[in-house]
Amino acid sequence: MSFKQGLVRARSHIIFLAGLVTAFGLVGWLEGISMGNTNTPEAIIEASPDLKIAPTRPLTTQELEWAHTAWKYFQNNTIPATGLVNSVDNYNASTLWDTSSYLMAVISAQRLGIIDQTEFDARIFKVLDTLAKLPLFEGKLPNKSYNTISLQMVDYTNQPSEKGIGWSAIDIGRVLVPFNVLAWNYPQHTAAVKRVLASWNTSPMLVEGVLHGAAVNDAGATQYLQEGRLGYEEYAAKSFNLMGLDVSNSLRYTDFLKFVDIDGVSVGTDSRDPQQYDAHNYVVSEPYILDGIEFGWDHISQELAWRVYKAQEKRFADTGILTAVSEDNIDQPPHFVYNTVFTDGKVWNAITETGEDASQFKTLSTKAAFGWHALYETDYTRKLVEKAATLADPARGWYSGLYEVSGEPNKAITANTNGIMLETLAYKQSGKLMKLGK
């Protein structure tokens, strides 16, 4: 089924699909348990007795001020001619993940009353019109990065690339989140979403229910590889599923699930060996936070998320170090670091995208601190937010975090951090952002 057909079905059979999605949640849970590695007790996830999700509530005056600070980033970094937003402050490039952060920021800002309906519609129409015009990698799917002014395909250093550098199935799954929100809740934008998706060819990206990305090797040839590890893979697959596409294998949490004891907390990790599969099995906060605030967790993701959070809370209890880890841009080389609960066989491992040690850049992540607080609102998350609340420039937006070693702010300011800030606050006020029907 094409994206276009999926969206037509979504709008014309809303009651049927709403029931189908509800049924899918139960079937997916049962299927995940039955299809996992049932030879080990790790395939059965027992519920934590202390798990408690915080209720929604009206925002405080201070929280609304935080939301306005986050929106300042998008006011400063929107390119009027194209409608795209820079991924990093004053850096004219963007990925689909960053574009999704912007779209979700616009949706959140409208729901929080920061922008009115006229500005909301204008921003959405403009960016969707531009996305429909982007050149595609091999004429199939969006390239991993674009120049926000020229719309050229670029590499990760923002240098033009005539061929492109491939596509990311995870990033595409991420941008389908706001596309789904728009299709279900803002019908005035459904036609524009369909125009974006009409030229996309998903066949090489979805193979036997598994997400595949594309990359260009040193010889200039295109390689297609399974993409995503525990947390990210299932999160991205959920939005494909809402489009009616087969991601049945990528949706299952239990196929490669392995538990690791981290400071007394049994945390779910991906069992695929990074050395064998040439992909790091990061355990970080972001995919679990996004799953909670956007989709609302299912039985399994709710439990896995809680354990990821509890390990961070336990590290603070044991060491006194405020811990809220995720991947983030940083304000110095190597410019991007994965601060993890676990990866590549090591706990509290911080590495670069190429796997080099980055322990000196361990950081309390602003978006993780506010995300966990929105979802749980515990004594520990209050401590996180009390510290993270100091990490902002009111004229530019929220900093990415706080370095553990130096105690200095990580002053990278990005679309992703500020977009997730707006999302978490919109969630706190009104609940999950993906609602099937009004």
Residue 5's pLDDT is what? 52
For the chain, what percent of residues have pLDDT higher than 90?
85
Q: Which helix (H) or strand (E) holds 191?
A: helix 190-198
More confident residue, 275 or 404: 404
Residue 200's pLDDT is what? 97
Q: What is the mean pLDDT of residues 125-152?
A: 98
Residue 28's pLDDT is what? 38
Q: How far apart, in whole angstroms, are the C-alpha atoms of residue 326 and residue 382?
A: 18
DSSP three-state, residue 93: strand
Report whether 231 contacts 292 (CB < 8 A).
no
Q: Where are the alpha helices (DSSP H) in 343-414?
A: 366-376, 379-388
Quick check: 360 pLDDT over 90?
Answer: yes
Quick check: 318 pLDDT over 50?
Answer: yes
Mean of the per-residue pLDDT values for the chain?
Answer: 90
Instruction: From 304, 319, 321, select the one nearest 265 (Cα to Cα).
Output: 304
Q: What is the mean pLDDT of residues 255-284?
A: 92
Q: How far apart, in whole angstroms, are the C-alpha atoms of residue 18 and residue 170?
A: 24
Express each pLDDT in 213-264 by its tens digit. 999 999 999 999 999 999 999 999 999 999 899 999 999 999 999 999 999 9
Strand 222-226 and strand 265-270: pairing?
A: unpaired
Number of residues assigned to the chain: 438
Biggest CA-to-CA distance, the chain: 57
Q: How far apart, in whole angstroms, are the C-alpha atoms of residue 269 and residue 253?
A: 10
Q: What is the mean pLDDT of residues 352-378?
A: 97
Stated pTM of the model:
0.90
Confidence grade of residue 13 (pLDDT, cut at 50, 70, 90): very low
Token pair in block for residue 341: 């609960």
**Domains in the chain: ranges and CATH:** 3-430 (1.50.10.140)
Confidence grade of residue 46 (pLDDT, cut at 50, 70, 90): confident
Q: How many CB atoms lie within 10 A of CB 384?
A: 25
